[in-house]
Amino acid sequence: KMSMEMAQRLDTGLRAALGDDGYKSFQQYSALGPERNVADQLASELYSTNEPLTPAQADQLVQVLAQNRFAPQSSPSPSATLNGTFIDPRTYGRLRVQELGPNGTTGVTWAAPVTDTALSRAGAVLTPVQVAALRQLQAQQALAFQLAPPSAGEKAPVGSK
């Protein structure tokens, strides 16, 4: 776990090395990491097809995902559903902790959840074949959320083992 002091020293060092404008660009780039991970996953899926993801499409997809981020809510909405499945805050938190680990460390690359809203808007930048591949990626994400084990001290949902 990185201490607040270490984080501040790292932040100060980055700002000194990059300058104010470079540091701002770095922060903006870093903030979109989970969305870029989705674009990378999609590009990998489409690599050997007749419709690979172009760099321009990847950049546009990152923006679509960023503009339509998953927003944990207590009731269903397009920004809290994946593949038509409502993901409540508790379920989202279980997988997020599982992916990140208890101290925020990870050996897994966190990918932004592809919301139903993002999927519908991705059609403006992707071909139908690419949208179908993104839909499949979204379905895998929804399943991962549904199968995430309960957090320590949390009761398993009724009907699960």
Residue 74 CB burial class (10 angstroms; 0-12, 13-18, ≥19): exposed
As a whole number of angstroms, the distance between CA 121 and CA 153 comes to 38
Cα–chain-centroid distance for residue 23? 23
Q: What is the pLDDT of residues 107-125, one digit of tens each?
A: 446 788 999 999 999 999 9
Residue 4's contacts (CB-CB under 8 Å, 6 or more residues apart) are none
Average pLDDT, the chain: 83
The pTM of the full predicted model, rounded to 2 decimals, is 0.75
